[in-house]
Structure 1
């Protein structure tokens, strides 16, 4: 994603993620950045840049200035977007270049839009909506003169370059404004034409052709006196600025206006013939309209086929597009609608066309030849509706297009015609909100259509409170317009939630009783049945089998599961049953899939083959999820997550313990790395419950896997329950290999909850079992956490020894995921335990790089927080805040309280340490709220160290709030209940206690605080 945007068409503006970058140190840095951006297509030699910006300096000084400006630019970029300078700046010892693919530049966008218009083969600009839209978009990019206000008086070479750029862009801007004004005059929109003429005059008051456009626009609005006043203004400006009189063309136009003979109207709209009338609003489809306009506006495109399954709204789209074309004067000899649903032969098509265009047939048999003669030289658009049954006999269409170069055909069909002249546009459902979307408003066309139809059925229909159910209806029907209209008829009897539940299992809910509805559109099932009947038995069988896929599939999977061939898949795609998506994947509309599954019936074999294929694929990549190719492998599974989910659920529901057992470890790794914790927990719990009676061994593994998810989320009670269940089963079956895994993780929970003696016992016991069973992966894992335990107890040498041993084992195993965690732990030992900040930061940075390589967002939060802490120690508060905020964003995106509690406490700590700490009541109250929120989260999971850190910071906050007695009791209670490790929090705490000691009754208050229970201590922080 492009985070940096440069806007140069006006004053210099730089944006990072939508926020302005304002701290640009000098105009030279601003100019250097702008120059490199505009000239980003090539690298620039350092000496050339030095001469460009510092021509009067010596070579050495100019190069030094360049290095300093470059350093400032790098710092500016990295402050705005962390680590962005490495991507944006391509620097060698000899050259400097901005990476043109790594940022947005408005001048590049401007030029691209103009180039697209220039290269587009339309007959007339005013008949090409897509090019009109491009020019308008280009016009809106221009805020003023290029780099307005930027002057470098000591850099004449740069100023010369700047002047050339300004003149070129100014000329292009004027040209596009003139083109837009002329096009709107031709379209019969004089108000818009006047607007673009006025914008030209604002740029160049003496621009005579712009004054003429304004005069024409005014007279076409029946404002002739104002048009003549505009002429007088033009004459005055020309005389006073240039000493010239207006040209003959302008004088003649003024005379015609005064005489009342000036053209008052633009093009006459083209006539529409036989088009149906609709009484409901048309929603969405702007991208489709733009595509239709671009294609049929090309001189080389005579045939555009709208391809889609029945009910997708192809006819309505074609009719609405043709209506828009007519208003723009497209096809001035007429636009004709010819319905062909009941027509089955080419000769019948020719008769229907002849009748539509008003051709009185001669007493001859060759109707096609007569039509070609009649239509020759006419600029027509024929909309041929429902052409699918004629697709195999459509060779005559190609002959017509060759003989009639001014004819345009817009065809709707459930399959392409496969003609050389044909362009196709696949028509899918209306846009609808994705699953779990927070925004289900009428900005989604599918939602707007449903609400409109529901209001027609029931005038008191109120979508408020039913938005989620309406969104689900739209998802279930895939945005299909006809299905949405049918679903809306039920609002008189059912709630939207009930309608959604019915659609999910009953395709026959979607029927129509409207009296004017064709038989083929009386139900969604009837529409699909027509398509089914057009297929061979083998293709019908394949369609049914492909219904087992969820969310799309690749050709390899289709071959393995449904024994599909490339030809079969192509046939289904041609019938619009399948959509060919990205990366050679196929998708099926949700209702088409429901129809397919209904025809598949009770065939369990297809479902079993689907489940076995995907879970076997998943299991086969188990090791890779922790290796160097983790990101690549994970990326391969992301498009098929819906299929893996379905395979997992089917295996659980049908007792396929072998599939669950085989894939459970890989499933856990994939779902954790994708941050899908809550869903992973739910799927594992569902499967373990299903396996409990029939396959207790598999259930134990699923309990263990779920426990690891809870452990990641710091949900220690839930994790402990699942681990104890798994450990009890493995103990009863003497499966020491797996039992030790459960014992080790129970030890980790005990360590994190401050139960160090129990943690030591469980970790040592599991280490003994790991050596005994030669479980080398767990040896490394347990040693790592023995190191963490020793660190928590202040034993730095032991911690370092264990962690270095485990890191060596992880490297030998090629386990990058565990290496990352181990490097993070070693960073803490070096930075805090040994006071070697640089060495610690190196470990943290290495951990962060590995987590990023693996694409593990949750893992990234650990070194981000630790690097932020080192920045605090170094008093680099801006960097610390930046790193903590990056950590917070990930925590919020994943919904992980364990990350957020650390971030909140660290942000509170940062505020207390900054050179100008908060002393105002409101600011201190904000810090207090952050710390208490972090404390509350830590208490919920009994994260002892975070609780202690938050409480120590709250002691310092209470002192600054002058809550002396509260501060003393809080400090005493914190010391009584927690081990207070050295660190910045402890320094704040010690300073606060030193400030409190001179208070009267300090000893008494301290003693009172020490006797508080933990709940009393927490309550004293206004915890509740």
Structure 2
């Protein structure tokens, strides 16, 4: 039961839990009728995607679809007009309350409660249904009396708050009162501004704050809402901090003395009161590059098109322009103000030109309308307004944080930007940075762009880039060991998280004209995370970075030798054996001259891989033998074990099964002395190939599945896809060609994304039925396999 704060009356839990927006109501009604999304979609002759979007609140159905939904959801004929109006957004979901309970709803023509205290909005409100639902539930919570919507400038806080308030009028029969604080330049004027909205004048004596509190406390007792818009500029450090703190204690005093009151505030910075509940607002949803279907279902796209058509009535986007429209929304990360500013140029520029101008300069994102507040006339104006909220230390840290790409953790922020925890918390509270998953933070793309300009103006850009590069070189050196430890799965994911930061660091390291020591640091960064590039399927990218760095590196350095070894290994995955041999031979020469045993052994071992794939047994055997001898001198059990496993696999493929078994068993024994999952998976795979070559299908399947599980745990795309192909061949040999085609297609799709090609001369091919190999890619199962996700493909391979 829920108790009304103002009147002491109760309302049922059912009423409290009533759906707050149309999509949520649809979901409740569907579940009440025991229908799945797929069943409802079939009844309404629409796609499951459409039902999903409607229930998530990301789109309104067309009138035709609303009529079909009314019939499918068994809405009584006398209530269908009301239902259709609610579906189209003309009425709130509350008008459907009695339909869900089986009664008769109010007539569609009945006026909804209105308030004369909210500003009139002249443009259609787009999207934000999930946010409206979440905020509505917070306002209904008796414990939430002060709710602050926070977010960077231009993110749409004011528009959302007004829309939210307008939909909550039945909840606040005492009225909704809007106070714009934009024009107020001191906290002491908050009391007069609020009093003016309530038509209270201070003509006599007495303290204005007490008079305001007493006036509001003497009201009828009906719940009412006070919307305080744009508080942030009143929260900055002032000459009279004590006075400012005293003024803001007005809010808890109001809530204590006036139990019928709730306060909704918007601010770029949290107010930092114990009573405050926070709701952080982000950009509008936008599609990925490959999502071209139903683009207007994404709120960012819908807003752009609506604003564009205000300027150019016949504005349309052709399918060829879809990627540019998506790119625009991605560049500005769904920020509503930036979307509107970009859309104002459609009468002058093409979408391609608009996207290009955004990347060149933020000066482009400016407004040509006269009746727009000065602080919203451009993104730079928004940023300048926000910049005033920062202390000197905070502004300096923010500029340096702009170097990061894809977010950062506190340790990285401290090392690179000198960001202490109090400063990070302050920047977070002022909406300059935002929380990501796993304890990470990031800047909005447009804030980053503005901050980088400030960093360059201050002359600190190069030094910060150098510090950023050094930090990630240090992280990569630590990762080199950890990627072979019992924590390797965790560290592969950690490096994946930092991939965009690594890209930024390498871009800086290999900038044309970069000094030699910076190039060396870049090559060290790439080589230290050598396993990562293949394991997580970034082979092509790894090769590209190595090519850029090697052209600038010094000719006789150990760093160059290690980079050449890695380049040869990655190039070999693409079946370019000649280039791989050239790179690896140079690595061998340099490492011998520098007398580095490990690098020399690594290069020889990789040369053995190349000759094995190239079909030269003798050269491969000799390279493996020489590298194994060096590894035994060096004494690393993992290196010894992997070299033995490679030698054993070579002998399997050339029919020397007895020798192969000895090498593989010894290799597995060495590897099992280490925590390396990748090495164990590699050796088990080779043992699977041995069993397959001997015709032991059950044992081969078991070995390949063991290897698949390990590689899946690591996210090792190359070895994982190879296991899928080997399991496919077993299925083909044993007569299940449909399953074989599906698995082979799934593996091929993974390899295509990773830049890896399964060598056509691999002896495993020779064991598969030739007729199946020729026709597999033409089957329906192949098409199905290509569409499988990684998780689906692995689960299928382990279960069938």
Please state which band the TM-score falls in when normalised by the shorter chain. 0.7 to 0.9
| Correspondences of 1:406-425 after superposition (within 5 Å) | 406-425=260-279
Provide the rounded CA distance (Å) in 1 between the counterparts of 2:538 and 2:322: 25
In structure 2, the CA distance between the partners of 1:192 and 1:661, relative to structure 1 (3 Å rule), is closer
**Which of 641, 653, 657 is the equivalent residue of 1:792?**
653
Matched, 1:427 2:289: no
Deviation larger for 809-818 or 776-785: 776-785
Residue correspondence of structure 1 range 736-815 to structure 2 within 5 A: 738-764=599-625, 766-767=627-628, 779-815=640-676
1:349 is paired with a residue of what secondary structure? Answer: helix
Residue of structure 2 aligned with 1:322, choices 150, 165, 180 = 165
SS at the partner of 2:510?
helix
**1:285 and 2:128 aligned:** yes
The answer for the alignment partner of 2:184 in structure 1 is 343
Tell me the distance in 1 between the aligned counterparts of 2:142 and 2:440. Answer: 33
Query: Could you tell me which residue of structure 1 aligns to residue 689 of structure 2?
Result: 828
Is the CA contact (8 Å cut-off) linking 1:308 and 1:413 kept in structure 2? yes
Secondary structure of the corresponding residue to residue 610 of structure 2: helix
2: CA distance, partners of 1:688 / 1:138: 61
Kindly state the Cα deviation for residue 829 of structure 1 after the two structures are TM-superposed. Answer: 1.4
Contact conserved, 1:122 with 1:299, CA < 8 A, in 2? no
* Range that drifts further, 664-673 or 762-771: 762-771
2:395 alignment counterpart: 540
2:548 is aligned to: 686
Q: 2:761 aligns with which of 943, 954, 958?
A: 943
Aligned length: 700
In 1: Cα distance, 2:295 partner to 2:572 partner: 38
Name 1:83's counterpart in structure 2: none
Q: Name the CA shift for 1:129/1:845 in 2 (closer, same or farther; >3 Å).
A: closer
Greater RCO, 1 or 2 (C-alpha within 8 Å, sep 6+):
2
**Change over 3 Å in CA distance of 1:277–1:851 after alignment to 2:** closer
- Change in 2 beyond 3 A, CA 1:193/1:419: closer
> In the alignment, does 2:473 pair up with 1:615?
yes
- Whether the aligned pair in 1 keeps the contact of 2:678 and 2:710 (CA below 8 Å) is yes
CA contact (8 A) 1:542 1:564 kept: yes
Counterparts in 2 of 1:832 and 1:778: CA distance versus 1, 3 Å: same
Aligned pairs for 1:730-741 within 5 A = 738-741=599-602
- Please tell me whether residue 305 in structure 1 is matched to residue 148 in structure 2: yes
The aligned counterpart of 2:384 is 529
SS of 2:302's equivalent in the other structure is helix
Could you tell me whether the CA contact under 8 Å between 1:726 and 1:739 is conserved in 2?
Answer: yes
Change (3 A) 1:799 1:539: same
Q: Paired residue for 1:859, among 719, 727, 748?
A: 719
Q: Distance in 2 between matches of 1:132 and 1:487?
A: 30
Structure 1 residue 430 displacement after superposition: 1.4
529 and 695 in structure 1: CA distance in 2 versus 1, 3 angstrom threshold: farther
Rounded Cα–Cα distance in structure 2 between residues aligned with 1:606 and 1:414: 27
Q: Is the 8 A contact 2:678 2:714 kept in 1?
A: yes
Q: Check conservation: 1:483, 1:510, Cα contact below 8 A.
A: yes
> What residue in structure 1 maps to residue 209 of structure 2?
368
Task: Tell me the distance in 1 between the aligned counterparts of 2:750 and 2:421.
Answer: 40
Q: In structure 2, what is the equivalent of residue 514 of structure 1?
A: 369
The Cα of 1:825 is off from its aligned counterpart by 0.9
Match of 1:583 in 2: 438
- For 1:675, the equivalent position in structure 2 comes to 537
- Contact kept, 8 Å, 1:432 with 1:474, in 2: the verdict is yes
* Matching of residue 480 in structure 1 with residue 335 in structure 2: yes
> Given the superposition, is the C-alpha separation of residues 530 and 686 from structure 1 closer, same or farther in structure 2, using an over 3 Å criterion?
same
Whole-Å separation in 1 of the counterparts to 2:111 and 2:16: 10
2:265 & 2:773 partners in 1: Cα distance?
A: 75
Q: Report whether the alignment pairs 1:818 with 2:659.
A: no
Instruction: Give the structure 2 partner of residue 141 of structure 1.
Output: 31
Report how far residue 341 of structure 1 moved.
0.8
User: Could you report, residue by residue, the CA deviation over 1:816-869 in whole angstroms, capped at 9, with x for unpaired residues?
Assistant: 312211121112213432x44444444334323332343324322333444454
Does the 8 A contact of 1:826 with 1:840 survive in 2? yes
* Pair 303,630 (structure 1): closer, same or farther in 2 beyond 3 Å: same
Rounded to whole Å, the distance in 1 between the matches of 2:688 and 2:93 is 68
Which residue matches 2:786?
Answer: none
Aligned to 2:779: none
CA distance in 2, matches of 1:331, 1:894: 59
Residue number in structure 2 paired with 1:275: 119
- Local SS of the residue matching 1:803: helix
Q: Distance in 2 between matches of 1:820 and 1:757?
A: 26
State the partner residue of 1:637: 495
Q: For the structure 1 residues 273 and 764, does the alpha-carbon distance in structure 2 shift closer, same or farther, using more than 3 Å as the test?
A: same
The alpha-carbon deviation at position 440 of structure 1 amounts to: 8.7
Match of 1:396 in 2: 250
The answer on whether the counterparts of 1:188 and 1:267 sit within 8 Å (CA) in structure 2 is no
Give the conservation status (yes or no) of the 8 Å contact 1:121–1:298.
no
Structure 2 CA distance for aligned equivalents of residues 554 and 191 of structure 1: 47
Deviates more, 1:135-144 or 1:615-624: 135-144
Could you say if the C-alpha distance between residues 686 and 491 of structure 1 is closer, same or farther in structure 2, counting changes exceeding 3 Å? Answer: farther
- TM-align CA RMSD: 3.8
- 1:382 counterpart (201, 204, 226): 226
Partners of 2:769 and 2:590 lie apart in 1 by: 40
Structure 2 stretches of 5 or more lacking a match?
1-9, 37-74, 236-244, 777-800
CA distance change for structure 1 residues 381 and 715 in 2, over 3 Å: closer, same or farther? farther
Whole-angstrom CA distance in 1 between matches of 2:92 and 2:431: 39
